[in-house]
Structure 1
Amino acid sequence: MRYLIILSSFLMSATTYAQNGVLTGTISASGNPLAYASVSLRGTSYGCTTDQYGIFKLAGIKPGEYVMVCSSIGYFAKHIRVKISGDTVIQNAELQEGSSKLSEVIVTGVSRATELRSNPVPIAVITRKEIQQSINTNIIDAITKGVPGVTAVTTGPNISKPFIRGLGYNRVLTLYDGIRQEGQQWGDEHGIEVDQYAMARAEVIKGPASLTYGSDALAGVINLIPYIPAGENGKLNGDWTTEYHTNNGLIASSLGLAYKKNDWKYAFWATGKTAHNYYNKVDGYVYNTAYQEYIFSGMARVDKPWGYSQFSAAAYNNKQEIPDGSRDSLTRRFTIQVAEGANDDIKNRPFAPVKWLTSYGITPLHQHIQHYRIYNKTEIKAGSGIFSTSLGWQQSVRREYNHPTQPEQPGLYVTLNTINYDFRYSPQVWHGWETSFGLNGIYQNNASKDATDFPIPDYGLFDIGAFAFAKKTFGKVDISGGIRYDTRHINWNDFYVGSNPTNGFEQKVSASDPAGKLQFPAFSHNYYGISGSLGFTYNISEHVLLKANIARGYRAPNITEIGSNGLDPGAHIVYLGNRNFKPEFSLQQDLGFIAYLKNADLALEVFNNNIENYIYQSRLNDENGNPVIIVPGNTTYQYQQSKARLYGAEFTFNLHPQATKWVEFDNSLAYVIGLNKNQKLIEQSNGAAKYLPFIPPLHWQSDLKFKWNASLGWFSKFWLRTGLDFFAAQNRFYALNDTETPTTGYTLAHAGVGSTIKRKSGKPICELFIQADNLFDVAYQSNLNRLKYFEYYTASPNGRSGIYNMGRNVSFKVVFTL
């Protein structure tokens, strides 16, 4: 494969360097070489990273004047005008250290690499360092702690579904290295199947990103960039992370290895996690919240003057318990289901054995998720343009075991196969215009296997969209925008279920089976939509920016919204869809003000989002006002559609005085209101349906950090931080049929300390982190925690209903440098 890639690109690159020039030099910071910094020529395909000595080299550059952009995370970008002739030009650059992220180079949400500061779309970046310096059980939790406006619907400690400004599920598109992540993300208890320890950074687009990615990016995009350990050429490099949590006994270990030989780079990651049930002072140990997770991934990449090609693969395996809230009505001790149907007496189930509560074993009632991913990314420099492709295959296998009398029989068993494709071309800059054109989409096939419950039909899906993007700078104004057209076809055949004589449950049967009943009548439909955006960034000065953007987003209904008609065992919900639903369209306006001052960062972002055909879940009651129970012990939800409006703001104020560089004070505030615009329903419900479900409350976060670069023996680079998370009460909720209930406010404190341990030679051995969340062991329920509604009784002796969030948790983490 290596020689095939080189040979296929030789003729293309052979004429590139005739009469062309070379740009080389050293990038440094504080007088020291800066390894792995990015160097590019603005508006072109020329770009590279520095080696371990801070040296870079760009060859084959056509003669002319360019702007060289030098950047690295944690430093301010530098712009230098250079004139290229047919000779070698030497240009060095010194970067200034800073905590502002205004100038980091990113690639998410736009069609070619651009600087964060010049992009009018609200985008945030969370780095690997920030991910490491907080307690996380998955990567989405890390993002919610570091990016204002991002929250998560959770089902236990290891399942978090991202929400951006009050919008989630299939409205948030999650990417892994630019490849859209496709699992069974329609369900509440379906998490993100990625390795949290293998992330270099996460990039978050707030707002419609349909222009680049099409459907399912109505709320925004989260792009997870894998981490590749850096090191010397020809030497095996890597790091090993080990972590322990006191609350649920989490034991985690992750190994990352990388090897670079000239133009070739290889990387491998292996991660394992196991945890028992988590604890809080209201519920004690919350039965059935343990999990085991194992992930393996690898990558091979070649970088040549003509571009690069990369092959990657990953295998994810997770056994995850899901609680059902079953407990004794008087003692509030958790109980376990041992019988089914008429033999199951919910009020007289046996207590969960004490030894099970802190056991690392997985109970028979759990879900088993496997996810496999193989993909290729190739980028070829065609003259001064770039042609890039992404091709991938994914398989998601989900089994949910909910039969205590037959623990080996899955209730839900679905297999989803997805093919991803993406083709883009960014031609040479023409009169200052940077343009890109692309075509991308997915093909999917989902099938039920040996199951007893069928919430969705077997279906096929084909999605394709084309877009055009343009950007130009006029003096102090950067303007960018584009347009896109998408079409999605989804279909399924008649789906019959009937009795399975071998186990007494239902099974999928053929249409000719005389005992079969039609659960999902055949369906075929095309959805299509036009989306786009237009925005500008006005550089009031080098450090003060004004941004404005208007975008139209598009999303086709997902499979549960149009096709569901059955029990999802892991969610304990019977979903009822509506095949007449129309696609969602949003029109969002964003306005932002950003200032990087000498001693502080200041950012204010406000947004207003109007959505046509908004789809949401609502509990179903009968005509007498009683909850509809189709499957005993499980609630019934029916999808609804109406107009909606969401508006709000995020405010960030980070203080980093130059006179006292050892102290940082970071603050953020996020607030969103979601309104249901179905006036008829609001009037009929006496205002209970006024607000949208799953809207986070006002959230204020404050963090104070102290840093000392002094050394003490083997210890150096000490840091200490402490902070508060304040969540206001949420009284603006979707109250119809008790779909949601009010949530009281709460304040959580956290603290942490860390240091680098070095050998006498100065080479680092490891980094040590000790951190605590919920320091004062507050008993609380997040309004986005689904376990809040896992309750069998209308009243309890202690006045507490549902399951509470995790109590105090202390984490010990060590990252060894290999």
Structure 2
Amino acid sequence: MKLFLTTLFIGFSIVAFGQNTLIGTVSDHHNKPIESVTVSIPELHKETITDTNGTYTFNNLPNGNFSITFSSIGYANKTLIITLNQKETRLNTLLEETSTHMDEVIISTVFNKLQSQNVMKVEHQSVKDLQQKGAATLAEGLATIPGVSQISTGTSIGKPVIRGLSGNRVLVYSQGIRMENQQFGEEHGLGMSDAGVESVEVIKGPASLLYGSDALGGVLYFNPEKFAKANTFSGNFNQKLFSNTQGSNTSLGLKTSSDHWKFLTRGSYSTHADYEIPSGEKVINTRFIEKDYKIGIGYSDTYYNSEFRYNYNNLNIGLPEEDLENTNFRTPLYPKQDIDNHMLSLHQKFFFRNSKLEADLGYTFNNRKELEAVDEVALHMKLKTASYNIKYYLPKSGNLETILGVQGLHQTNKNNGEELLIPDASTNDIGVLLTSNYEWKSHTFQAGIRYDARKINTETHGIVGEEGYFKAIDRTFESFNTSLGYKTKLRDKLTLRLNIASGFRAPNLAELTSNGVHEGSNRYEIGNADLKNEQNIQTDLNLEYGNAHFEFFVNGFYNHVNNYIFISPNGAEIDGNNVYDYVQDNAALYGGEIGIHYHPHPLDWLHFVSSFENVTGKKDTGEYLPLIPANKFSNTIRTEFNIQQWFQKGYALVNLDYILKQNNNSAFETTSNDYTLLNLGFGGNINVGKAKFDLSLNANNLLNKTYVPHLSRLKTDGIPNIGRNIILGLNFNF
């Protein structure tokens, strides 16, 4: 069937064959050519840079309407829409100087517009920017984005939280496909390395219309690094050293491209010893080792674009426990997790005369082991997921754009260990969506509707009445969801966005079937096979203003969730463990983020960035929800400078984060104290003779503050987070 469809699509594409050339120049408002401007056509994965005359050229382009993006440091990003239907098209453009943030093309929303044009507010951060903030891990970097935090287990495990929602309520996409790695567990981390990841986009709110079940709380969309520019070869070597964990991270990447073919590969290796708390003690068995390998192959011509990527990630993570003997220094002790994750994706685009078809096919294999001792595999789960996402972009009608889509997956979970958290099971999803975007003067409207069905089948296991017994389940969960968005300019440079969207999440296997002591939680958990869908409606209001020297934003949200699933003690005990049931109640989460970016004139080298984030989560009974992050006030002063020719694009920053007390705790949580963290950063591009490299130096928790975050899984044992940590990074491009 797949071969037949592919052949059919290629046949249609050949009918729409078109071989076009796009040329042009990029200048400033003094008509002076701008050199080294990055010119890209994201839909075609094509990119080039302007020469000394500001000229760029693309060959072998298909017919159709495409977004052309121009970006250069010191200038505002610019995106233009161009129609290609003749042999040679010329497009000259002017760029405006600016010193504030770059306006990025958003990939996680189906219409792929610039953020300034997007109806939905999406946070975009490059991984390089997150690293400049001093993030030691990818999850830690995500937690610097307003509205995002993490449930952490030391330095090795970080689970993203978006506006108080986590686990299966937050969907993670990488390489254009959904990541499936047992997200139901608090001790199950993100499971991916930042090596070979270019940027992340965060949708803070229900995105079930675009992504189906599990996007009720939001989406993390990771964009992989781009291929090399046409007819070039490049590479880079990156080395980081971490003082606190005596850690090391090494990454090597190579890539090359011709006019049609593209290839890249990257490998990385990380090793960290136990982290040290401010008292000088080591937290035994918080050590971990991570190996990551990525490969990408691309092909493009005038009617077809294809991109294949493969990612292998292995995590060997120690689990802290009392009375462990400190041996081996870096090698994780028992108990530990050994996790393999394989991810394969195939992204294809077919270009017709006035429309296009996109197809994303994915396969992931998550192999998770929890080992108590040598040759003693307590828990071993194999999760296999095959997914598809097909979107057809109808011919544009005036200012109206419309997309039809179908998505789905087939997933199996198989147990091979002595213990079972969840039974052997299969899950099948299918979803159909229709969404449109309409522009009229300064107003943009976006609306859509979607239907989803998820079927879950499990197998019977164990003996009735005993721990580890699972009754067979055969359930189907269905949901209709809609969204409506509106964007307008109230005044010049003042933008208003209003979005109302519904979302849903089908109960996961742990919530439906649990019957035993959950590792690390010290509680006996009992599932509920009669649980219903979680169904929510969220209203988001975004107001933002930006000129050359000052920006501000205000985000407010109200999220009402029907049938919110949580665990609650029932008063009983089994083998000395309190028994918790999975139950449901209506709940609401509300709050928002506010921030400014001030760049005073004429101090072009100075930036002040400040933000405050707040979220409150309550059940309709008035009780607080668990795992709600504390309010956070963050302030950063950043300077930018050049020292002659040998030190370019230099920066220095001071960051002060104040995390407020969290007194709004659930019945089985404790309150958390407030604390303040001071972080420093310094770096730039160094050119000494023929030697050229990037330098970064960060000092996190400079004052060696003792603190315990509210969302730390080590909080119940009174274990603080990591103390002072100096991070040195060197990056060599060749």
With normalisation by structure 2, the TM-score equals 0.93
SS at match of 2:680: strand
1:193 alignment partner, one of 178, 182, 191:
191
Matched, 1:442 2:409: yes
What is aligned with 1:162?
160
Residue segments in structure 1 that go unaligned for 5+ positions in a row: 327-334, 337-351, 498-510, 623-627, 683-689, 792-801
C-alpha change, 1:671 and 1:692, in structure 2 (3 Å) is same
C-alpha change, 1:767 and 1:629, in structure 2 (3 Å) is farther
CA contact (8 A) 2:213 2:506 kept: yes
1:705 alignment partner, one of 638, 642, 652:
638
Deviations 1:432-478 (A, max 9, x none): 210001011211100110x2221211111001101001001011101
C-alpha change, 1:560 and 1:264, in structure 2 (3 Å) is same
Cα distance between partner residues in 1 of 2:450 and 2:139 = 29
Matched, 1:220 2:136: no
C-alpha change, 1:82 and 1:372, in structure 2 (3 Å) is closer
Deviations 1:275-321 (A, max 9, x none): 11101134711011000110111010012221310111111111101
Give the Å deviation of 1:388.
0.7
What is aligned with 2:284?
287
2:355 alignment partner, one of 385, 388, 397:
385
What is aligned with 1:752?
681
Matched, 1:726 2:658: yes
What is aligned with 1:817?
733
Which residue type is aligned with residue 439 of structure 1?
A: V
C-alpha change, 1:198 and 1:729, in structure 2 (3 Å) is same
Q: What does 1:174-185 align with in structure 2 at a 5 Å threshold?
A: 174-185=172-183
Cα distance between partner residues in 2 of 1:468 and 1:613 = 26
Q: What does 1:364-443 align with in structure 2 at a 5 Å threshold?
A: 364-402=334-372, 404=373, 407-443=374-410
CA contact (8 A) 1:711 1:717 kept: no
C-alpha change, 1:571 and 1:312, in structure 2 (3 Å) is farther
What is aligned with 2:231?
233
Matched, 1:485 2:451: yes
Deviations 1:501-544 (A, max 9, x none): xxxxxxxxxx9xxx998700111100011112101100234521
Which residue type is aligned with residue 708 of structure 1?
A: F
Matched, 1:452 2:418: yes
Cα distance between partner residues in 2 of 1:599 and 1:9 = 49
Q: What does 1:51-62 align with in structure 2 at a 5 Å threshold?
A: 51=49, 53=51, 55-57=56-58
SS at match of 2:677: strand
Cα distance between partner residues in 2 of 1:360 and 1:55 = 50
What is aligned with 2:519?
569
Matched, 1:639 2:559: no
Give the Å deviation of 1:227.
1.2
SS at match of 1:33: coil
Matched, 1:95 2:126: no
Instruction: Identify which range, 238-247 or 134-143, moves more after superposition.
Output: 134-143
Give the Å deviation of 1:709.
2.3
Instruction: Identify which range, 290-299 or 517-526, moves more after superposition.
Output: 517-526
Cα distance between partner residues in 1 of 2:285 and 2:117 = 48
Give the Å deviation of 1:132.
2.5
CA contact (8 A) 2:38 2:70 kept: no
Runs (4 or more) in structure 1 with deviation over 6 Å come to: 4-10, 58-63, 81-85, 515-518
What is aligned with 2:104?
104
What is aligned with 1:692?
625
Give the Å deviation of 1:28.
5.8
Matched, 1:781 2:690: no
Cα distance between partner residues in 2 of 1:220 and 1:671 = 16
Which residue type is aligned with residue 370 of structure 2?
A: E
Cα distance between partner residues in 1 of 2:88 and 2:561 = 55
C-alpha change, 1:303 and 1:166, in structure 2 (3 Å) is same
Q: What does 1:248-287 align with in structure 2 at a 5 Å threshold?
A: 248-282=245-279, 284-287=281-284
Give the Å deviation of 1:131.
2.3
Cα distance between partner residues in 1 of 2:240 and 2:359 = 37
Which residue type is aligned with residue 95 of structure 1?
A: L
What is aligned with 1:767?
694
Give the Å deviation of 1:50.
2.7
C-alpha change, 1:718 and 1:23, in structure 2 (3 Å) is closer
Query: Greater strand share, 1 or 2?
Result: 2
CA contact (8 A) 2:267 2:292 kept: yes
Give the Å deviation of 1:601.
1.0
What is aligned with 2:553?
603
Give the Å deviation of 1:563.
1.2
Cα distance between partner residues in 1 of 2:538 and 2:346 = 34
Cα distance between partner residues in 1 of 2:261 and 2:5 = 12
What is aligned with 1:500?
none
Q: What does 1:585-664 align with in structure 2 at a 5 Å threshold?
A: 585-619=535-569, 621-622=571-572, 628-630=573-575, 636-664=579-607
Cα distance between partner residues in 1 of 2:206 and 2:22 = 38
C-alpha change, 1:553 and 1:39, in structure 2 (3 Å) is same
C-alpha change, 1:26 and 1:629, in structure 2 (3 Å) is farther
Cα distance between partner residues in 2 of 1:545 and 1:553 = 25
Deviations 1:126-164 (A, max 9, x none): 01330231333431211111x100011111112111111
CA contact (8 A) 2:38 2:72 kept: no
Which residue type is aligned with residue 777 of structure 1?
A: N
Give the Å deviation of 1:101.
4.7
Cα distance between partner residues in 2 of 1:290 and 1:779 = 20
What is aligned with 1:743?
672
CA contact (8 A) 2:617 2:624 kept: yes
Cα distance between partner residues in 2 of 1:551 and 1:9 = 33
SS at match of 1:192: coil
Cα distance between partner residues in 1 of 2:278 and 2:128 = 32
CA contact (8 A) 2:400 2:438 kept: yes
Instruction: Identify which range, 301-310 or 636-645, moves more after superposition.
Output: 636-645
CA contact (8 A) 1:16 1:60 kept: no
Cα distance between partner residues in 2 of 1:261 and 1:774 = 46
C-alpha change, 1:522 and 1:11, in structure 2 (3 Å) is closer
Q: How many residues align?
A: 724
Which residue type is aligned with residue 716 of structure 1?
A: Q
Cα distance between partner residues in 1 of 2:63 and 2:290 = 50
Cα distance between partner residues in 2 of 1:10 and 1:423 = 15
C-alpha change, 1:7 and 1:99, in structure 2 (3 Å) is farther
CA contact (8 A) 2:106 2:122 kept: no
Identity %: 28
Matched, 1:301 2:298: yes
Cα distance between partner residues in 2 of 1:746 and 1:546 = 34
What is aligned with 1:37?
39
CA contact (8 A) 2:36 2:72 kept: no
SS at match of 1:270: strand
Cα distance between partner residues in 2 of 1:151 and 1:239 = 30
Cα distance between partner residues in 2 of 1:316 and 1:70 = 32
Cα distance between partner residues in 2 of 1:162 and 1:518 = 29
Cα distance between partner residues in 2 of 1:82 and 1:227 = 25
What is aligned with 1:544?
494
C-alpha change, 1:638 and 1:720, in structure 2 (3 Å) is same
Matched, 1:716 2:648: yes
Cα distance between partner residues in 1 of 2:650 and 2:679 = 18
C-alpha change, 1:99 and 1:668, in structure 2 (3 Å) is farther
Which residue type is aligned with residue 104 of structure 2?
A: E
CA contact (8 A) 1:291 1:320 kept: yes
Q: What does 1:293-332 align with in structure 2 at a 5 Å threshold?
A: 293-324=290-321, 326=322
